[in-house]
Homo-oligomer: A and B are copies of this chain.
Amino acid sequence: MALIVQKYGGTSVGSVERIEAVAEKIIKFREQGDDIVVVVSAMSGETNRLTALAQEIMESPTPREMDVLLSTGEQVTIALLCMALEKRGYGARSFTGGQVRILTDESHTKARIKEIDGSRIHAQLEQGNIVVVAGFQGVDELGNITTLGRGGSDTTGVALAAALDADECQIYTDVKGVYTTDPRVVPEARLLSSITFEEMLELASLGAKVLQIRSVEFAGKYKVPLRVLSTFEEGPGTLISLEEDSEMEDPAIAGIAFERDEAKLTVAGVPDVPGMAYKVIGPVSDAGIEVDVIVQNAAEDGTNDITFTVKRAECGRAYKILQDAAVSLGAKEVVQDKKVCKVSLVGVGMRSHAGIASKMFKALAEENINIQIITTSEIKISVVIEEKYLELAVRALHSAFNLGDPESAAESN
């Protein structure tokens, strides 16, 4: 008998009908003899409705009261789901974050979980009840209601699984799992049966957004086996685990992530003296602009070119900051390019497989795609290219590394 934590997001519980369908799904597991703890989000649309009410009053509502307000969304769902379970003859008990006691710090609207008391949940499981917990919320030391910020229900699920020492944490979503790349770009993209936490972190942060990144970090830290699967379709989903897949099928590459809407800024000809990178990047970061890829090349003349990427929407602001700073930096010029994108190969297998990078560059060269920036990490190679080539590049790489076909994937090593 296993203890399973299941998390259902807002779309999965978006109507009474869907809540009833989720109840049926939960019961299937229960009937297999497993103990089930369910974490749910607010019904889709509810958080937006409540936020709109608050903003009718204040543009930036008091964070403490915002948490009191928004936490009602999940509270409605836990009650309705328990009713749907009870109606089917299964004992069910709902808990708000405060009732469980999910203790957080005091950072309203973006609180972090400090501790979870599993005793009330364990007591209910021992009585044979299904336990339904409100995601996204907790209480601070003084009993004030806090929320973990948008998407925080994933974190609640993983944290509960860790605290209860669950055998698996299942995150139900509207996709069947994690794919080798976005199936909308590459129709033959393959559903991964497993992936490591590190790979998942790289894929998630690079745009294949299935799971909230904080919850993946959390699961990795507390060694909670995490499974992503679909609420609406049957299937085993993707297991995110600590160990690399030890089966024969051991491809170097787990998947291909990409990021559209990137922009590239180059500060050219800055003096080659210590502190220049900070002087260039510092003011941009200070303005709240997230800087992604950063590369620096020494030119022949003893000056440096510092290039980095930002979200396209923030390029204009970053460009202005750099132009204003150009003189004091002693830079020759500031150049912006708003039409770039980033494509990344991700896979822990890279560690033990040589030649991945050259194979990647060859595949892109064969399509005449010019690489503007290259950055590498232990389990990732990213290239920045002209945006119009995005789909072509992803498809070429997917094919070059045989990601679409499980049978021949092993041969690509």
Contact = CB atoms under 8 A, between A and B. Distances in A.
A16 interface: yes
A54 interface: yes
A108 B66 CA distance: 28
Interface in A44-69: 50, 53-54, 56-58, 61-62, 64-66, 68-69
Given A98-B98, A143-B99, A54 B83 contact: yes
Contact of A94 (B57, B65, B87): B65
B16 A53 contact: yes
Interface in A74-93: 75-76, 78-80, 82-84, 86-87, 92-93
Nearest to A66: B79
A103 interface: no
Contact of A54 (B61, B69, B79): B79
A58 B83 CA distance: 7
Contacts of A68: 75, 78-79, 82, 94, 96
Contacts of A182: none
Given A50-B76, A98-B98, A84 B57 contact: yes
A413 interface: no
A19 interface: yes
A153 B145 CA distance: 22
Nearest to A139: B99
A20 interface: yes
Contact of A75 (B16, B62, B72, B79): B72
A52 to B, nearest CB: 10
A76 B366 CA distance: 59
Q: How many copies altogether?
A: 2
Nearest to A86: B62
Contacts of A50: 76
Interface in A8-37: 16, 19-20
Interface string A130-147: 000000000000011100
A53 B66 contact: no
Interface in A137-162: 143-145
Nearest to A73: B72
Contacts of A82: 62, 64-65, 68
A79 B86 contact: no
B61 A83 contact: yes
Contact of A53 (B62, B69, B80, B86): B80
A58 B76 contact: no
Contact of A57 (B64, B80, B144): B80
Given A50-B76, A76-B53, A98-B98, A87 B65 contact: no
A61 B92 CA distance: 12
A218 B291 CA distance: 62
A164 to B, nearest CB: 19
B20 A57 contact: yes
A37 B50 CA distance: 24
What 4 pairs across the A-B complex have the smallest Cβ distances?
A69-B79, A72-B72, A68-B79, A16-B56
Interface of A: 16, 19-20, 50, 53-54, 56-58, 61-62, 64-66, 68-69, 71-72, 75-76, 78-80, 82-84, 86-87, 92-94, 96, 98-99, 143-145
29 contacts: A16-B53, A16-B56, A19-B57, A20-B57, A53-B76, A53-B80, A54-B83, A57-B80, A57-B83, A57-B87, A58-B84, A58-B86, A58-B87, A62-B83, A62-B86, A64-B93, A65-B79, A65-B82, A65-B92, A68-B79, A68-B82, A68-B96, A69-B76, A69-B79, A71-B75, A72-B72, A75-B75, A98-B98, A99-B143
